[in-house]
Structure 1
Amino acid sequence: AHVGLQARLMSQALRKITGSIGKSQCTVIFLNQLRQKIGISYGNPEVTTGGNALKFYASVRLDIRRIQTLKKGTEEYGIRAKVKVAKNKVAPPFRIGEFDILFGQGISTMGCLIDLAEQTGVVTRKGAWYSYEGDNIGQGRENTIQRFIEDPEFAQKVELQVKEKLDIGGVAELDTNLDEDEIEIEEELLEEDE
């Protein structure tokens, strides 16, 4: 009897609140679940509930999936998640990333730091050992994370080197050293425009 009611309500609500969200500079997060379409032989059979309005109005859409359960012995303490950026109006879309989500804590920043340090070559791994500038800093990922937690100055030093390698947080400099020829060409172009 109420076919498409949720989709219609979502569309009406999003039309009304979109302007207010932009003016207030707030972030609104919607969590949704996947359902399976029945009888789909081609394409992705997974669909989010609530119609297409949310897909349209969203600035960023992330597809987050658990790829591994993190355990200490038999005790589960977190998950390894893979994130695909399905839509992004504010940065490049279709990027993929992995990170640890620890129960009761959130995203493991030290785990992310170790992953990035290894990818950029700041920290190297041979077998189970992680090393920094030739010195072993931990056997196994968990011990290396613990080392970073116990020595925040060391972790910050590694983080700065990773940011430097990734060119994050640098200050862009303008090239003010133009040749006289370049200045003359620019002046000629300006005169042609007039």
Structure 2
Amino acid sequence: MENPESERRGETTVLSKRRTIKQITDPLEKQKALQATMQRLNDKYGDDLIMNESAKKEMRVQALPSGILSLDLAMGIGGYPRGRLIEVFGAESSGKTTVALHAVAQAQKLGGIAAYIDVENSLDPDYAESIGVNLDDLIFSQPDSGEKAFDALEELVKTGALDLIVIDSVAALTPQAEIDGVNLQAELAKMMSERLKRIVSLVNKSKTVVLFINQVRSNLSGFLGTGETTPGGKALKFYTSIRIEVKTSEKIKQGELAIGKKTTLTTVKNKVASPFKKAVVENIWGEGFAPTVDIVTCAAKADVVQQSGKWYSFKG
């Protein structure tokens, strides 16, 4: 038999083996019940467990431009998604570090703060400056173990003050256990899984872009079929929002002299837009990706300019 008071409030009693649940049908009572429950949950676990309207607006993905126009277009939102993990991977000397340095230079140009965690101890300061990086403003670290690198990363993210943090590279994140003589790949995969699980929510709250540089290596197990894999296990592939594969192709020549290589950047994973978009850029040795060529190429694709031989002209 139904309770008359419950009937007046538009409630229907639903019996369960564990508890009695009152199904509310009145719209006003529904809102009251929801508000009370959300308040209890936030009081118990913190104000960000059940999001209010302003918090939901902050979830909308904002972008940090990469400094490479064609790559911004390929990523679909105008740059790297803030508050997310990014992986840039490719073979040796393919241009991975150049991609990262363009991002650092662009973040600084926009008035932001960037950090570079150089685990490989291989950053060339002159090359970084030639791309536009301000070394005086760059937060720089060269940790000697993977644990120290992740500690630095985590503490920097917690400040909420950084726009971009680059880790160069995953392959060099040597765990202390490996230094002490334990198997490298197993310990690296374990460390990556544990530490990424900890930082992913911190990164999201801080709106920092964390960019991991990674290398392509031979897949001796042959399980993937491609013959290639990236160090660090499956965790980084899982937690990243965008994975960018970097590949070089033909040389760029000035007369008979080779001055660079064409480079293709492919978004093989993209959780914020359509994946498998490509950006083809010219990597000029000692200078980085040629911005003028990139802009003109993008303009031609957008039908803003037209090409006639080696010349371009604005349409209309």
Q: Distance in 2 between matches of 1:34 and 1:93?
A: 20
Q: Do the aligned residues in 1 keep the contact of 2:307 with 2:313 (CA within 8 Å)? A: no
Residue 190 of structure 2 corresponds to residue 11 of structure 1: no
- Aligned residue for 1:66? 248
- Aligned residue for 2:220? 38
Which residue type is aligned with residue 210 of structure 2? V
Q: Distance in 1 between matches of 2:224 and 2:291?
A: 39
Kindly state the Cα deviation for residue 59 of structure 1 after the two structures are TM-superposed: 0.8
- Aligned residue for 1:89? 271
Selected match of 2:299 from 93, 117, 125: 117
Q: Distance in 1 between matches of 2:312 and 2:192?
A: 51
Residue 203 of structure 2 corresponds to residue 21 of structure 1: yes
Kindly state the Cα deviation for residue 76 of structure 1 after the two structures are TM-superposed: 4.1
Kindly state the Cα deviation for residue 109 of structure 1 after the two structures are TM-superposed: 2.2
- Aligned residue for 1:57? 239
Q: Distance in 1 between matches of 2:268 and 2:302?
A: 25
Q: Do the aligned residues in 2 keep the contact of 1:123 with 1:130 (CA within 8 Å)? A: no
Kindly state the Cα deviation for residue 14 of structure 1 after the two structures are TM-superposed: 0.6
Q: Do the aligned residues in 1 keep the contact of 2:248 with 2:261 (CA within 8 Å)? A: yes
- Aligned residue for 2:313? 132
Q: Residue by residue, what CA displacement relative to the aligned partner does 1:40-84 show, whole Å, maximum 9, x if unpaired?
A: 397322111110100001010000111123232455433211111
| Identity rate, percent | 29
- Aligned residue for 1:155? none
Q: Secondary structure at the match of 1:86?
A: strand
Q: Which 5+ residue runs of structure 1 have no aligned equivalent? A: 134-157, 162-194
If asked which structure has higher relative contact order (CA below 8 Å, sep 6+), I would say: 2
Alignment CA distance shift 1:73-1:39 (3 Å):
same
Which residue type is aligned with residue 262 of structure 2? R
Q: Distance in 2 between matches of 1:16 and 1:41?
A: 29
Q: Distance in 2 between matches of 1:73 and 1:132?
A: 24
Kindly state the Cα deviation for residue 16 of structure 1 after the two structures are TM-superposed: 1.4
Q: Distance in 1 between matches of 2:299 and 2:204?
A: 36
Kindly state the Cα deviation for residue 30 of structure 1 after the two structures are TM-superposed: 0.6
Kindly state the Cα deviation for residue 4 of structure 1 after the two structures are TM-superposed: 0.5
TM, length-normalised to structure 1: 0.59
Alignment CA distance shift 1:100-1:91 (3 Å):
same
Q: Residue by residue, what CA displacement relative to the aligned partner does 1:123-172 show, whole Å, maximum 9, x if unpaired?
A: 3334x332426xxxxxxxxxxxxxxxxxxxxxxxx8xx9xxxxxxxxxxx
Alignment CA distance shift 1:24-1:105 (3 Å):
farther
Selected match of 1:48 from 230, 239, 242: 230
Q: Distance in 2 between matches of 1:40 and 1:113?
A: 40
- Aligned residue for 1:179? none
